[in-house]
Chains A and B, each alone.
Chain A
């Protein structure tokens, strides 16, 4: 597996502001994803981060709310825009390693609380 560094690990934000979460992997990956984990709910895929092009969003998630960048094979950011208390959740970066059997590995997550 790889070392997947995600920061910040937690933050408390005010309503209407934006937060950018960074994900850095220590080796090359084929695919990077962003998930959301709300209390009592299943992990939900937000989008696939595509290198050098627009992310692919799942139903219910839009680019204006969750802009994603992936400038290279090992780094991606997720921005949670114009936050409301409903955005309070854990956000997780996940990757499939290059030559790695299609197994999905996760970062340690960002615990976001919106007041």
Chain B
């Protein structure tokens, strides 16, 4: 079993839809959880950064962490065509190494 599993999609939704992106993981030592957005031919851009369990909201984006289930989610409300990108989840352990473990990414297309 890979450390981080993420459905690569592709996922296609109409404009205005609520999008749910998910990752599961196996390492219970992960404490920091991130979502990156990557547009075509660009580097990943940090979107959400959370520590431990719970929810974090930033505008149309909500990140959820359920450590008991080893499951994280990113919700996008009122999705826009400009949200079309690949979304990468990433996580790391507390203390010591800065090494992040990434999912493979989910490619999202929001159709106008």
A residues engaging B (CB < 8 A)? 1, 4, 6, 31, 33, 40-45, 48, 58, 92, 96, 101-109, 111
Contacts and interface: CB of A to CB of B under 8 A. Distances in A.
Contacts, number: 50
B108 to A, nearest CB: 16
Nearest to A1: B46
Given A33-B98, A42-B4, A103 B43 contact: no
A89 to B, nearest CB: 13
Interface residues of B, number: 22
Contact of A43 (B32, B49, B98, B102): B102
Given A40-B8, A42-B4, A43-B88, A106 B102 contact: no
A7 to B, nearest CB: 13
A39 to B, nearest CB: 10
